[in-house]
Amino acid sequence: MSNLLTSLHEQILFATKNTTTSKKIGVAFSGGVDSSLLAKICSDMNFEVTLLTIGFEGSHDVEFSKKIAALMGLKHLVYIIPDKSFSDVAKKIRSKINTDNLSWNENCIAFYYVSKLANKHYIKKVLTSNGIDELFCGYNAYREVVEHGENAVADLMESKLGNEIQMMKAVNMISSEFDVTILQPLLSEEFIDFAKKIPIKEKIKNKDDLVRKHIIRQLALSVGVPPDSALKRKKALQYGSLIHKNLIKVKKTWNTIF
């Protein structure tokens, strides 16, 4: 590894170690580079790791996660979201978090099911890779601002981080119903400070960069994440699980407009 890759690896190890004392953990898992990297690092640290995937039958995340989990040789549990009860669950969560923000609702729904799956298998702590997209220019929005310079990227990063930190508070309000805590080691103050110092060019090249998160992908490959995962382009949780598609469908019957 290069010095920068080594430092990044060490910082993720440190952040993860300081997130939980529990050795039995779940990792919210889509099979993408972020969750696969976190899962591999947790496994290498001798955590008792169970990968947790949720999605509708036949969804991208359900099918892709099975493939990557098998390649990684880690225990993997899948929860198929029932069509019949989805509308009622979505309504309950909308009422509980009291916001019309579509992304917040979609993520809280997703982690409702992740927490339900974790609880069924006596897993109290679930780690997520939230923070990587914000800190390493994973979103398409970074392509739109990168040509305006590093200050524009930094401003967007601050906005994205603020939203993510607040959203994960709402997520934990939802997960508490199942006595499950959702933890985000890569949103710790120490890791955020470190990641901000990594040069932008290690994260995104230019406005045409469809891959992004380059240093994260390099690290994933170097620690043994399967290339199919490490090099795969981003597909957000709400889309990969088909939660977005189904929420848009059911909310048309509601009086609440997102």
Domain CATH number, residue 128: 3.40.50.620
Tens digits of residue pLDDT in 206-226: 999 999 999 999 999 999 999
What confidence score (pLDDT) does residue 2 get?
Answer: 86
160-185 per-position pLDDT tens digit: 999 999 999 999 999 999 999 999 99
What does the chain look like in DSSP terms, one character per residue?
Answer: --HHHHHHHHHHHHHHHTT---SEEEEE--SSHHHHHHHHHHHHTT-EEEEEEEESTT-HHHHHHHHHHHHHT-EEEEEEPPHHHHHHHHHHHHHHHT---HHHHHHHHHHHHHHHHHHHTT--EEE--TTHHHHTT-STHHHHHGGG-HHHHHHHHHHHHHHHHHHHHHHHHHHGGGT-EEE-GGGSHHHHHHHHTS-GGGT--STT-SS--HHHHHHHHHHT--HHHHTPPP--HHHHTSHHHHHHHHHTTSS---
Number of domains forming the structure of the chain: 1
Whether 256 maps to a domain, the answer reads no
136 located within any domain = yes
What is the tens place of the pLDDT at every residue in 92-137? 999 999 998 999 999 999 999 999 999 999 999 999 999 999 999 9
pLDDT (0 to 100) of residue 44: 97
User: Is there a domain that residue 64 lies in?
Assistant: yes
Q: pLDDT band for position 236 (50/70/90)?
A: confident
Q: What phi, psi does 78 have (nearest 5°)?
A: -125, 135
Q: Is residue 93 part of a domain?
A: yes
Q: Looking at the domain assignment, is residue 257 inside a domain?
A: no
Task: Give a yes or no: residue 87 inside a domain.
Answer: yes
pLDDT value for 256: 54
Give the domain extent around 179.
3-16+24-250
pLDDT at 34 over 90: yes
Is there a domain that residue 258 lies in?
A: no
Q: Is residue 101 part of a domain?
A: yes
pLDDT confidence band for 258 (50 / 70 / 90): low
Q: Does 237 score more than 90 pLDDT?
A: no
